[in-house]
Structure 1
Amino acid sequence: MKTKEARSVLILLLTAAIWGFAFVAQRVGMQHVGAFTFNGVRFALGSISLLPVIYFFGRKNKDAQTEQADTKTTFKSGIIAGSVLFIAASLQQIGLIYTTAGKAGFITSLYIVLVPIIGILFKQKTHMKTWIGALTAAVGLYFLSINESFTIEFGDLLVLIGAIFWACHILVIDKFVKNVDAIKLSSIQFATCSVFSLITAFLYEDVNILGISNALVPILYGGIMSAGVAYTLQAVGQKHAKPSHAAIALSMESVFAAIGGLIMLNEIMPLRGYFGCVLMFLGMLIAQSENMGSEKIEDLS
């Protein structure tokens, strides 16, 4: 592996670690504030934290007319992406009230195998390895979340539905990012998610300064580190990393979530739960292996 590529993979592993430990921050934060309050403040900080990145690294438009057109497209795309993000993040945040950080991390990571499957609706080709990976991950989910009465835990179900929306969110971003600046799009989608979350919070939760101040450290981590810093690291890391290597590195988010939950929250799963985690991670790797094969062909051509 070349030096630049190896450095990029390490940067992406750091990104995955930041995202993984964010599950811990989300659980801790909700000891003081509601789910929508947490997300509202968190994503507001995330949007603001990207502004310096936009200022220093944003693309420069050639003329005012082009800039105006790009701005309109970016805002429209950001609002749509932010709406999907609001649903995904809300389901995940509420689900974390009823489940552990480690389980939530692995279940959320199912978006890796869900993206190509949902892509079928958009006439995208899905390979056999994707289906094998999805089946393996599904068996893992059974061992992780299905109890003896063959029902899924409520929190796990919410996070699982959230994973479907995370997959939809990735497909939406993939569609929009081809036409607009990715960092500007992220800042606007974070702001949109924040507005929707705060509106819901003021309607259904007790929003107060004391609760927010008590949850300040988890909120700052979830907003600045998980959004601003991690997103910037992802953008830098993916410049020289192969897509499959990047995907595998980022999928380590689930492992870091489990480690964080174990070390910081003393979350311990039964043996079948850890077995399920292994199967789910294996399913993710199988689903991504198709991309690795494609890259080898490209390298030989």
Structure 2
Amino acid sequence: MSAIKQAPWQADALLLLVTVVAASGWIFSKEALAGMPPLLFIGTRFLLAGLILLAFSWPALRRMPARRIRRGVLVGFLFSAAIAFWVLGLNYSDHLGESAFINSLGILLVPVVARLLFGDHPPRSTWIALPVALFGFALLSLNAGFRIEASQLLMVGAALCFALLINVNTRVVRNVPALPLTTLQLLSVGGVLTCLSLVVEHQPLSLSPSILGWFMASVLLASSLRFFVQIKAQGMTTPSHAAVILMLEAVWTALFAAWWFGETMTLLQLLGCSLIFTALLINRWYWVRKVMLRWLPGTQR
């Protein structure tokens, strides 16, 4: 019996919770960045989150061969690049909803990167979805007055790095259990970006009680809890099924940003984000259809 049939609604519920927590993390992070340099914020956040997960993954890490630990740490260096692009894009962004949709392009780019670097053959839906997504991104660029903003470029860089990271994870560390692998990668990101911050960042800290509160919410909820629940949920279903539900993170982020920061979207931004989300649905249509059939009443046999 497949994992989906064993625990369908539990996996879906946990993955939906992950998307809500991840979207909340955009709000927590943006608020914390008001008093912390971006690389220092994300480095210490991931370092503390990795130490928390270490308490749960230590028995598995002790039994793990040294070569697998080295691979996990090396892949963590690539994760550092992705997260650095993301937090810098977030720092410069004036519109979290738009940034979240651009960042979600990483899901669409996974099969494209696999084709370019590893010779895989993406499904036809990828090549249908890609021009739709590019047109959506073009509309977002037009909204800035026929120019691409720095935050948009940084989020595209993050999406590319995340797409490469997913491909490398499935090939280099495919036999490493999810929880210790996540712990290794969080600790790697935390160590690399904290050290990099000490070298290149000179922005003064402004650690008021509210900034510390947002920072701890980022550590405990948006990092430790989010990854712990995501790992558990992904173990209860298939990666493709999980990816469909995780696409909702961008939607939640836009809604939360509208509620918390009062963000609104112009017509071009709405069209651009809608096209990007449509491209994601096209790219994952086989699995989207399966999820919809499960959720719609009267479709279960």
Describe the superposition over 1:40-95 as per-residue Cα deviations: whole angstroms up to 9, x where unpaired: 1110121012123315xx6598xxxxx3xx34123212221211111111111111
Rounded Cα–Cα distance in structure 2 between residues aligned with 1:274 and 1:71: 49
Describe the superposition over 1:11-49 as per-residue Cα deviations: whole angstroms up to 9, x where unpaired: 101101111121111211110011111111110121012
Correspondent of 1:235 among 216, 219, 231? 231
- The residue aligned with 2:298 is none
- The residue aligned with 2:100 is 105
Correspondent of 1:86 among 80, 91, 111? 80
Rounded Cα–Cα distance in structure 2 between residues aligned with 1:60 and 1:90: 26
Report 1:92-131 matches (<5 A).
92-99=86-93, 100-120=95-115, 121-131=117-127
Rounded Cα–Cα distance in structure 1 between residues aligned with 2:280 and 2:99: 15
Structure 2 counterpart SS, 1:124: coil
Structure 2 residue identity aligned to 1:109:
S
Report 1:204-243 matches (<5 A).
204-206=200-202, 210-211=206-207, 214-243=210-239
Correspondent of 1:28 among 27, 31, 37? 31
Structure 2 residue identity aligned to 1:17:
V
Aligned length: 286
Rounded Cα–Cα distance in structure 2 between residues aligned with 1:289 and 1:50: 34
Correspondent of 2:246 among 250, 260, 274? 250
Greater shift after overlay, 224-233 or 28-37? 224-233
Greater shift after overlay, 80-89 or 136-145? 136-145
Q: Which runs of 5+ in 2 are unaligned?
A: 292-301
Q: 1:196 to 1:243 in 2, by over 3 A?
A: closer
Describe the superposition over 1:112-163 as per-residue Cα deviations: whole angstroms up to 9, x where unpaired: 1100000012121211101111221111112223346432111111111111
RMSD of aligned residue pairs (Cα, Å): 2.4
Query: How far 1:290 moved relative to its partner?
Result: 4.3
- The residue aligned with 1:41 is 44
Q: 1:207 to 1:151 in 2, by over 3 A?
A: closer
Q: Which runs of 5+ in 1 are unaligned?
A: 62-66, 296-301
Query: How far 1:264 moved relative to its partner?
Result: 1.0
Query: How far 1:284 moved relative to its partner?
Result: 0.5
Rounded Cα–Cα distance in structure 2 between residues aligned with 1:123 and 1:180: 24
Structure 2 residue identity aligned to 1:285:
L
**Does structure 2 conserve the Cα–Cα contact (< 8 Å) formed by 1:114 and 1:164?**
yes
Rounded Cα–Cα distance in structure 1 between residues aligned with 2:98 and 2:79: 20
Q: 1:219 to 1:151 in 2, by over 3 A?
A: same
Query: How far 1:227 moved relative to its partner?
Result: 2.1
- The residue aligned with 1:298 is none
**Does structure 2 conserve the Cα–Cα contact (< 8 Å) formed by 1:85 and 1:165?**
yes
Rounded Cα–Cα distance in structure 2 between residues aligned with 1:188 and 1:248: 26
**Does structure 2 conserve the Cα–Cα contact (< 8 Å) formed by 1:95 and 1:156?**
yes
Q: 1:204 to 1:211 in 2, by over 3 A?
A: farther
Q: 1:293 to 1:256 in 2, by over 3 A?
A: closer
- The residue aligned with 2:284 is 288
Q: TM-score, normalised by structure 1?
A: 0.87
Query: How far 1:241 moved relative to its partner?
Result: 2.8
Report 1:45-194 matches (<5 A).
45-55=48-58, 59=60, 67=63, 70-99=64-93, 100-120=95-115, 121-147=117-143, 149-194=145-190
**Does structure 1 conserve the Cα–Cα contact (< 8 Å) formed by 2:19 and 2:248?**
yes
Q: TM-score, normalised by structure 2?
A: 0.87
